[in-house]
Amino acid sequence: MSPTIIVEKDGLLPSSLPLLHGRESKRSWLRLAAKLALVSTCTISAFWSLGCLDFPELSFLRGDDVSTVADLCPQPPALTPSVHAELWGNFGKDLEKEEFWQRAVDWLSGAVRIPTPSFDGMGPIDEDERWKAFVPFQEYLLKSYPQVHATLSLTKINTYGLVYEWTGSNAALKPLLLAAHQDVVPVNPDTVDEWTHPPFSGHYDGERLWGRGSSDDKNGLIGILSVIEILLEKDFKPTRSVVLAFGFDEETSGIYGAKSIADYLLEHYGENSFAMLVDEGGKSELNDSIVPKLNGGHSSVPPAHTTIGILSSLLTQVEKNPFKTHLGRGTPMYEKALCLAAHAPELPKKLQKALRRAPKSDKALRTAESILFEDRLFKSLVQTTQAIDLIQGGVKTNALPESAWAVVNHRIATDSSVSAVQEHDTEVLLSLAQEFNLSVTAFGKQLSEDGTPAYGKLVVSDAWGHSLAPAPITPTRDAAPFQLLAGTVKATYNAFRAVEDDGGVVVSPGHMSGNTDTRYYWQLTPHIFRYNHHFTGKTSLFKDIHTVNEFIDVDAFKEMLNFFTTLILNADESTAL
């Protein structure tokens, strides 16, 4: 959530992350921890992630007085389809055939060539002409996937939201829900000349496919549809139903797309009606608007403090009072830290020892916390953050500004709440506002008490009215959906590498500070995984998402196709979901 701070004078004012692999033995543990934290691409509803590592188990961690490796970070085995073993194996072989692979690349390239941007502040569907960009994209899907559209039922939600339903033979089984979004981040016209290939070219150079949406998130949407099209061509008939939810304004908070899709799914399926949900790979959010208000006037006769000066002091006060942070047991990043201790030999021995004792010792937990918090990224994923991102005030050099405003963006810790953040911000600002003799209204409550005429007023509120509470934490460890997803991740990873045993990849919980359409889907299932099987190879995490030269390595797309195939077949066979 981001609070907005406004000062007025009135006389008296927010996927897909890749998998991490390789031993990386020369990298410092801090960089390792940072990268592990970023591997929240495999995430869960509570903004968890599955970070994937390639580390051997550490036998020296075992001992009577410490947690064992299995206790710290239990690992399910790789899970491959058994009933559909032949189908799964043939699909893997097909991926290596040039004709088969070129077809998949063409599907994604064609999707990227159709611009589908969503912009901040777009109006209702029937009023804003820019929504019509989704018409040619959906016509493209209809033409490209004839088997999907002949077999699955399609319901359009709020005109452009797409819900596909692939009915299984056993209605008693809870369906698998797969989510993705059709929209992309707009391309800044001033940057078009900086692109190696035009932003909507869908250019394929043999190694990478370039263009806006290639990595976020048309690769996921096209990957899901491509897999289902191919499975249908191979006469696969599901036992467990599969539902696809494709929003169209995820990049602008999903208020027209996913929100409406969630209402439809709740009405037709009910609460807790899905076995599990997999979306691209947040943390909750509050935007505080801070607005001081005073009377205006000519700048030749200025007061001691203008609204801009007062706002500056208030913002300084905010930055001087960050949220206190502790690593809490049971939180996503605590679980990730335990997996680091169990499977990352680069960790300093002091940190390893502290984490091994942390489940039972508060002192050890605080020791581990102090070391882990040396990494700014790791700490930011644990704490409630604050960032002053917007500020505005004044219109002319000789006119005193009647108001000035700023917006403070908060990403709320998983063990905190919107109300706790609001209370903290109110407390931080109240005493200073009183020094300026400002009446204070904070989040709808009038806080002035003594009745003394105020010099001005301070209004603190939820900037956009879209505050997001921390999501419920998705069960892991022994939970069947987590076991199935983690086993699927391992099987997919192993299928593309010469891995002789199950120790090749470790799957851990984690956390992401971003959000996706799943913010509206919490009632559908407690098992929400924000995971994107997006192996990046030699490229950096986040390097080209939402900016110039977005691309996807085609090997990453190949793995994504294999992941969705394995997931659908594994879920179809599961008797534990």
Look up 183 and say whether it is catalytic.
yes
The token duo for 247 is: 């929003």
Query: Is 279 annotated among the ligand-binding residues?
Result: yes
Determine the Cα–Cα distance for residues 253 and 248; give it in Å rounded to an integer. 10
The answer to whether 203 and 112 have CB atoms below 8 angstroms apart is no
The answer to whether 182 and 134 have CB atoms below 8 angstroms apart is yes
CB atoms within 10 A of CB 378: 25
Burial string for 383-411 (b: 16+ CB within 10 Å, else e) reads bbbbebebbebeeeeeebbbbbbbbbbbb
Q: 549: left (phi > 0), else alpha (psi -120 to 50), else beta?
A: left
Which of 509, 504, 494 has the alpha carbon at shortest distance from 80?
494
Kind plus residue range of the DSSP H or E element containing 276: strand 276-279
DSSP per residue, 486-544? HHHHHHHHHHTTT--SGGG-EEE----S---GGGG-TTT-S-EEEE-----TTSPTTTT
- Which are the contacts of 20, defined by CB distance < 8 A and separation ≥ 6? 35, 36, 38, 39, 51, 52, 53
Q: Which of 8, 54, 217, 250 is the catalytic position?
A: 250
The answer to whether 275 and 568 have CB atoms below 8 angstroms apart is no
Query: Is 533 annotated among the ligand-binding residues?
Result: no
Q: Which of 8, 183, 249, 402 is the catalytic position?
A: 183
Query: Is 251 annotated among the ligand-binding residues?
Result: yes
Angle, helices 134-144/98-112, rounded to nearest 10 degrees: 160
The token duo for 416 is: 């905190």
Query: Is 216 annotated among the ligand-binding residues?
Result: yes
Look up 250 and say whether it is catalytic.
yes
Determine the Cα–Cα distance for residues 461 and 315; give it in Å rounded to an integer. 15
Query: Is 511 annotated among the ligand-binding residues?
Result: no
The token duo for 301 is: 């006769």
* Coil/strand/helix, residue 373: coil
Determine the Cα–Cα distance for residues 337 and 348; give it in Å rounded to an integer. 13
Which of 336, 454, 247, 414 has the alpha carbon at shortest distance from 37?
336
Amino acid at 251: E
Burial string for 492-530 (b: 16+ CB within 10 Å, else e) reads bbbbeeeeeeeebbbbbbbbbbbbbbbbbbbebbbbbbb
Detail the residues annotated as belonging to a binding site: 181, 216, 251, 279, 546
Name the residues annotated as catalytic: 183, 250
Detail the residues annotated as belonging to a binding site for Zn(2+): 181, 216, 251, 279, 546
